[in-house]
Amino acid sequence: MADIAALVLAAGKGTRMKSDLVKVMHPLAGCPMVDYPVAAACAAGADRLVLVVGHQSDKVLDHFAGAADVAFVVQEEQLGTGHAVACAAGALAGFSGRVLILCGDVPLIREKTLVELLDRHEERQAVVTVLTAHLDEPTGYGRVVKREGGRILRIVEEKDASLEERSIREINSGIYCVNGDFLFDAVAALSNDNAQGEYYLTDIIRMAADRGLHCYSLQVDDPAEVMGVNDRVQLAAAGKTLQMRINEALMLEGVTIVDPAATYIEPGVRVGRDTVIHPGVQIGGATEVGSGCTIESNAVIRGCRLGNGVHVKAGSVMTDSVLHDEVAVGPMAHLRPGTELMAHVKIGNFVETKKIVMGEGSKASHLTYLGDATIGSNVNVGCGTITCNYDGVNKHRTVIGDDVFVGSDVQFVAPVTIGRNSLIAAGTTVTRDVPPDSLAIARTPQVNKEGWKLKKK
């Protein structure tokens, strides 16, 4: 099989987005929209990838920094799609395989559709194969004009189309498979003699047809796949479609999603079977959720790893944290980066953690801050406990051994170590290490002044 290259056209500014951010970098389900055609092309077998960038090219380049298999070409002036492809000629010099041409603002294209496009192109020995869609309302799209037998004669942009041509319902998606040895010769010969004064890539169809070369189309079953994103309304519509794809795939793998229309899960998130996800949940980043978990409404989880049987209660927020089996969190808890909770740990309502390891069976049930701490197994942390980890310059660690009982309203002034099996009395401010098996008390003595209230009157 011949080599496959992919060109992703991502140079446009996106004026209709009304944004200071270039269009292709607008997030869609947690990723810049340009990520999706790039990923689809790679998954379909493209082993050479070229991005044509223009407006805010530095942002696109920074995003793909470190991706060794991606080459970049800068289109200094945006003179049309044909000009964009011509700019990439040097990056694919001598390439004679199949070239997939995709648009950075058409994010819903599927891998399987591109594979079918490549296969159909090969089977028909075509020079150009155009991905098309049939729309009941094709306004704004180029129309596909065919001859008998299904071969394409030309693609006409709407502004250049006759009334008869505008009545055609088959539209050009802007996605093509083209033989490389034909493509770059053709774009070098393009003219900008049209209503827009641009170099249309679609003109290579007419050029091929005039030479008697075969040009065919592949019509997608779902027109949403080739929906372009030009404004925020279309961005939201694309996001909704992508969200439903992700949720449906998870449900078919055994995950219960109570309300798929109100559940927001990013690509790449993995969820085990028999997990139940309630409405309003957001899960993103490289999150992995085990089996048999329950994630209640409005929880926000990003970059976390959850074991089996984890219960995340309503309104909890978790980032870059690890939860082992049978952990319970929330409601309204906040797990900040660096949190690791061993099996059977309980973190209750309005508890915040950061850079802690909490041993098996330990619990902090409510109204507590635990930061920069190592906490052993079977530790009870009472209500209102604080690890005072910051002295204004540096962060310091608190270490609490196994089987420690911490009463309510305790402050650990780090650095401090609490020995195993100790008891820290309620209201204590701990400023020194506590030996194992000890009772630590640090309170101002209570004074009762009898009859004081009567005298006050």
- Return the active site residues: 366
* 3-state class (DSSP) for residue 181: helix
Cα→Cα distances 439→199, 387, 396, 434, Å = 82, 18, 23, 8
Distance, in Å, from the CA atom of 51 to the CA atom of 438, rounded to the nearest integer, reads 66
CA nearest to 389, candidates 435, 434, 347, 354: 354
The tokens describing 173, both together, are: 């998606």
- Write the burial class of residue 455 (CB in 10 Å: 0-12 exposed, 13-18 middle, 19+ buried): exposed
379: left (phi over 0), alpha (psi -120 to 50) or beta: beta
- Compute and round to an integer the Cα radius of gyration of the chain: 31
The dihedrals phi and psi of 38, each to the nearest 5 degrees, come to -60, -50
CA nearest to 101, candidates 123, 119, 86: 86
Distance, in Å, from the CA atom of 400 to the CA atom of 418, rounded to the nearest integer, reads 5
In contact, 242 and 29? CB cutoff 8 Å: yes
* 3-state class (DSSP) for residue 25: helix
Distance, in Å, from the CA atom of 235 to the CA atom of 46, rounded to the nearest integer, reads 26
The tokens describing 267, both together, are: 């690509």
Which helix (H) or strand (E) segment is 207 a member of?
Answer: helix 203-210
- What is the b/e burial string over 216-232, where b = at least 16 CB atoms within 10 angstroms of the residue's CB? bbbebeebbbbbebbee
The dihedrals phi and psi of 246, each to the nearest 5 degrees, come to -65, -45
Sign of CA dihedral 384, 390, 391, 397: positive
The tokens describing 403, both together, are: 């089987």
Distance, in Å, from the CA atom of 404 to the CA atom of 421, rounded to the nearest integer, reads 5
- Respond yes or no on whether the N-terminal peptide bond of residue 436 is cis (omega within 30° of 0): no
